[in-house]
Amino acid sequence: MKKITLGLVGFGTVGSGVVKFLQDRRSFIRDRFGIDFFLKSICDRSIDKKINKTIEKCSLTTQWEELVKDPMIDVIVELIGGVNPAKEIVVNALRKKKHVVTANKELIASLGQKLFEEAHQNGRNIYYESSVMAGVPIIRTLTEGIVGNRVKGLYGIINGTCNYILTEMTDKGYSFEHALADAKNYGYAESDPTLDINGMDATYKLAILVNLAMGKFISVKDIHTEGIAHIAHDDIEHAESLGLNIKLLAIAKQHGQEIEARVHPTLIPKDHPLAIIDGVDNAIFVETDPLGDIFLAGQGAGKMSAASGVISDLLNIAVNEGSDARSNLANLAHDTADLRMRMIDDIMTKFYIRIMAIDKPGVLSQITGILGQHEIGINSFTQKAHNRASTVPVIMLTEPAPEKKVRLALEQLHKLPVVKSKPVAIRMENP
Ligand code: HSE
């Protein structure tokens, strides 16, 4: 029996899930792999309040340095999130010749390249399956399963909290606030849920995916990011009537030597496999060559899902002992320096546009006139109600148009005296 000694930093939702998973599956892991994971120490800020003291032979501390210094510990499992002090913990653990497992997308997205180099220099490795889509194995799919294929594009629902909120708003008519409160209760949301809602959580994850799929380390600053807070119930309903669903999508495409990467609410046809991914589930649609399209889906947030990814990393470390960071394809992705980022202004997409305009003759021609001036073609045009005393929603679907032109047109539309609130624009994709 091979014994691997673990130190766990962070005993929140995921940390407690890892402990449960290790306890529940201990005999299976021993019988099947001949590996015994021994959890020697747990570090958490509020150790006394949270930890059930019955965890067998496990010492508890609030000082992560104690775990990193402990010569008996082989692997540090970092589950606190955020860059600081996670970076210090990971770097120090590697320097003390420990492997690292982390679910920290912000850390890997921002500092992955440096950390992999540090791991290589110390003959150790970093595994991070749970950083994207939790236990749904997208990291291993990209780095092992489909490695060797060219990834032309990927479209992912990679934030469980936003997908849960949009689903609850769509199916149950819940308010945004009600759905968010539920997502927090279920342990899907980040400790700071604004990172989910404003799209940043998905952006960190997309940066990691682009690195693995397209071989380019990109900064999160290069990813155009919009969250879901401005999505109104009306837009969900209008979209439905047009045969479309709204999802927060993380999108990356490669066009020759250019890559585009963006996160924003997106309208997709209701019959697309991504459109039926509901609740906390995540999914990703990857266009590859020569394999073709692949689709991966499952629970992408929550205690046991994230724990599953961590356990898979731990087993990989145990089985691949002795392989350093550079022998791991995930960490080998050298930056393909000649790939450039295509900035959002130059990206072409179709748009759904909703304008709240006064219901009187001549208004529609003013609206279409402005779109025409900016060479934005209109695919369909619907006025949703008639009420001469008030404003009515005017819904348009455009032809593909460059982002910059659409933005200028929207600014001009907003200034029209007959337009009574900021126009809403949601991009459309048909992966
Ligand atoms: N807050 C994240 C989500 C957790 O909702 O997807 C998993 O990374």
User: Domain locations in the chain?
Assistant: 2-134+304-331, 153-299, 344-428
CA distances from 223 to 96, 253, 286 (A): 35, 12, 18
Judged against a pLDDT cut of 70, whether residue 331 lies above it is answered with: no
User: 281-289 and 292-299 as β-strands: parallel, antiparallel, unpaired?
Assistant: antiparallel
202 CA: nearest ligand 1 atom? 6
Compute, in degrees rounded to 10, the torsion defined by CA atoms 99, 187, 304, 35. 30
Whether domain 344-428 has CATH 3.30.70.260: the reply is yes
CB 248 within 8 A of CB 230: no
Residue-level pLDDT at 84: 96
pLDDT value of position 187: 87
Say if ligand 1 is within 6 A of residue 300 CB. Answer: yes
Q: Is 188 in the pocket of ligand 1 (CB under 6 A)?
A: yes
Kindly give the distance from the C-alpha atom of residue 126 to the centroid of ligand 1, in angstroms, as a whole number. 20
pLDDT at 322 over 70: no
226 lines ligand 1 (CB under 6 A): no
Residue of minimum CA distance from atom 8 in ligand 1: 301
CATH (residue range 2-134+304-331)? 3.40.50.720
* 188, 198, 277: residue to mutate for ligand 1 pocket, most atoms within 8 A of CB: 188
Assess whether the C-beta atom of 196 lies below 6 angstroms from ligand 1: yes
Q: Are 311 and 25 in contact (CB under 8 A)?
A: yes
Q: Are 412 and 405 in contact (CB under 8 A)?
A: no
For residue 306, give the ligand 1 atom closest to its CA: 7
Q: Is residue 354 within 8 Å of residue 234, measured between CB atoms?
A: yes
Whether 189 is in the pocket of ligand 1, judged by its Cβ within 6 Å, is yes
Report the atom number in ligand 1 closest to the C-alpha of 159: 6
**What is the CATH number assigned to the segment(s) 153-299?**
3.30.360.10
The yes-or-no verdict on residue 125 having pLDDT over 60 is yes
Q: What is the mean pLDDT of the chain?
A: 92
User: 213: Cβ–Cβ under 8 A, 6 or more apart, which residues?
Assistant: 142, 151, 154, 252, 286
Q: Read out DSSP for 106-126?
A: HHHHHHHHHHHHHHHHTT--E
CA–CA gap between residue 371 and residue 379 (Å, rounded): 12
Q: Which residues lie closer than 8 Å to 354 by C-beta, 6 or more apart?
A: 234, 235, 238, 393, 394, 395, 423, 424, 425
- Please give the Cα distance from 280 to 261 (Å, whole number): 23
pLDDT-derived band at 47, boundaries 50, 70, 90: confident
Check whether 92 has a pLDDT greater than 70: yes
pLDDT class of 335 with cuts at 50, 70, 90:
low
Q: Which residues are catalytic?
A: 205
Owner of token pair 């066009």: 255
Q: What is the model's pLDDT at position 268? A: 97
CA–CA gap between residue 135 and residue 321 (Å, rounded): 22
